[in-house]
Structure 1
């Protein structure tokens, strides 16, 4: 396992905004970038703590280009910001389903793959992206899977079914679920024997009813800080991403992760250039830098998410390459599916169902 550990009190999450320091960074005015030479600065809009510790400094030393970073907490926040008009971002990190949604809304620039030769480092299975179209508008940065993070000493056996989160009182008051409506509906549908894609209205109602009955056993619906709840002893089972739990495992060896046997949702986070980017040529250069094997190795070592960069993965120690949480295997993974964006109307149906369930 990579040796990097976070100091106490600085737990990180792919999707959690920084505190006071990060808040200040997120609030910076892009208009102020005009005070510097625009051609030597890039504006990077990404998830918190989702890059190597020295990656941006290494890029500046190699190119003379400074990268100013700000953070979003959800894909919906990213989409809303760009839908209102790009305020000056050069590079963004949307998840795969939102790549599809942003393409439909004409928010992403086609990439010039001739300027990204390091794309050859990406494993073949990740070079083909059903969520993207031709011409390509994104390249994969990480991939991830949702599962159950749990405290080993507090469970009777490995909680390898969605039942223990969605349909049982065995761990009453010790469960935390993600608040994301689409994830809840689709994972509930998977538990009930359906695909995560194409969930019809009858199944939405069935899942919402099941979750409504389970709500009394759920301590909280969290905004992707489940690993912190687990580390703090607030809950014993959390619905969370494998990379976040892998981070938590470096701090507490009583924590583990499983992809339930029914299967789950696979996602990818990507690098893309939004329309209206001030410096698209330099943005291509930054993307190519991030896909370098050694740079990718350092990123993976820092954030502990599975990398689609085969060249970077090959440089990582065996403890990373065979880690059962970073790269899970087994029946649950075999039955997992890539999530698809199926239009804003379905998104609205999911949101309304979960909102009513939580308010009831």
Structure 2
């Protein structure tokens, strides 16, 4: 029986240790709030033993709740922090949350393990000097696929965005900005092109492609691929690397037009009940051994040079986890371009989903 990611977390030992998925924050009342860390993150995005190890090391309790995409995370924080201590947004949403005044400045003196991070990840354009974010992973978006069901390597976005060749067997991302950025790459435009004519052109292409699409997925494309529900899916390299360990018929490719690069970060939202405990958690995660354990579990590329040095060659030399430089040269980072453009993406995506 193929396991869902929820089952993965349960089997990994994260169930039954004070962690709940629905209504996690309501559990805080049963524990001393000063000793409870409320983590809001992606599914399958933590080491099997990270949270119980942190609880043991600090005498704290960890509650975890999950979001499906950055849009959901932003919506949850739009009207104020609902009790979270740590959130894990992607780079463009770090920009967006920071501009909205939703993140606190980090105290680097409380995060000595920041020294373990590779220098190239410490001065990103979306957060120079890492004032409000600490790098957790970096990511490449591409196509996960089932080799026995696809003719050759689907090395162009065409096969998921602009063709009926795999009708009914395609999964697309539900997150508006990234899907539109990928579509712009396919059309030979910069990912962050955001003029009205380009958005309208992409909307028309996606509406035409919609009858061929099985699902617009929320961070579970690898599960659908693993289960055999679809044969091609736009997904993140780490998610596909996870399921490739279970099914050797699966693979991943960054299309020749280039993919989207991202960096997920640990941030402390404004109004966090336990900012000192949040700093302690960030420092714990950045420890070399703890970071290596997380990377071994989640299979995403790590920006932690000390953790990377502890990883086996099977991880360090894996081209799905670390695509070659020639491939990455065609990829671009997303940038937050302001609320007007974000709204235009979201409105166009709503029309696509409803059309």
Superposition TM-score, scaled by structure 2 size: 0.92
Is the alpha carbon distance of 1:135 and 1:236 closer, same or farther for their aligned partners in structure 2, counting shifts above 3 Å? closer
Residue in structure 1 matched with residue 157 of structure 2 by the alignment: 162
Instruction: Confirm whether residue 247 of structure 1 aligns to residue 242 of structure 2.
Output: yes
Structure 1 Cα separation of the partners of residues 159 and 56 of structure 2: 50
After superposition, where does 1:1-360 map in structure 2 within 5 Å?
A: 8-11=2-5, 25-28=20-23, 30=25, 33-133=28-128, 136-329=131-324, 331-360=326-355
Is the alpha carbon distance of 1:27 and 1:224 closer, same or farther for their aligned partners in structure 2, counting shifts above 3 Å? closer
Give the deviation of 1:319 after TM superposition: 0.2
Q: Is the 8 A contact 1:189 1:199 kept in 2?
A: no
Q: Is the 8 A contact 2:4 2:223 kept in 1?
A: no
Give the deviation of 1:73 after TM superposition: 2.0
Q: Which runs of 5+ in 1 are unaligned?
A: 1-6, 15-20
Query: For 2:114, what is the secondary structure of its paired residue?
Result: helix
Structure 1 Cα separation of the partners of residues 207 and 114 of structure 2: 45
Structure 2 Cα separation of the partners of residues 278 and 205 of structure 1: 43
Residue in structure 1 matched with residue 11 of structure 2 by the alignment: none
Q: Is the 8 A contact 1:31 1:88 kept in 2?
A: no
Deviates more, 1:264-273 or 1:129-138: 129-138
Q: Which runs of 5+ in 2 are unaligned?
A: 9-14
Give the deviation of 1:12 after TM superposition: 5.5
- Number of aligned positions between the proteins: 347
Give the deviation of 1:133 after TM superposition: 4.5
Structure 2 Cα separation of the partners of residues 115 and 38 of structure 1: 20
Structure 1 Cα separation of the partners of residues 28 and 229 of structure 2: 42
Structure 2 Cα separation of the partners of residues 29 and 223 of structure 1: 20
Residue by residue over 1:12-67, the C-alpha shift from the partner in whole angstroms, topping out at 9 and shown as x without a partner, is 599xxxxxx79x82333646535433332222121222111111111122222222
Is the alpha carbon distance of 1:39 and 1:319 closer, same or farther for their aligned partners in structure 2, counting shifts above 3 Å? same
Structure 2 Cα separation of the partners of residues 205 and 355 of structure 1: 13
Q: Is the 8 A contact 1:13 1:225 kept in 2?
A: no
Superposition TM-score, scaled by structure 1 size: 0.90
Query: For 2:183, what is the secondary structure of its paired residue?
Result: helix
Structure 1 Cα separation of the partners of residues 130 and 152 of structure 2: 48
After superposition, the CA RMSD in angstroms is 2.1
Q: Is the 8 A contact 2:142 2:254 kept in 1?
A: yes
Structure 2 Cα separation of the partners of residues 71 and 140 of structure 1: 19
Structure 2 Cα separation of the partners of residues 199 and 118 of structure 1: 38
Give the deviation of 1:328 after TM superposition: 1.3
| Large movers: runs of 4+ above 4 Å | none
Q: Is the 8 A contact 2:69 2:219 kept in 1?
A: no
Q: Is the 8 A contact 2:122 2:130 kept in 1?
A: no
Deviates more, 1:35-44 or 1:268-277: 35-44
Residue by residue over 1:75-119, the C-alpha shift from the partner in whole angstroms, topping out at 9 and shown as x without a partner, is 222222222222221111111111111111111110011111111
Structure 1 Cα separation of the partners of residues 178 and 272 of structure 2: 31
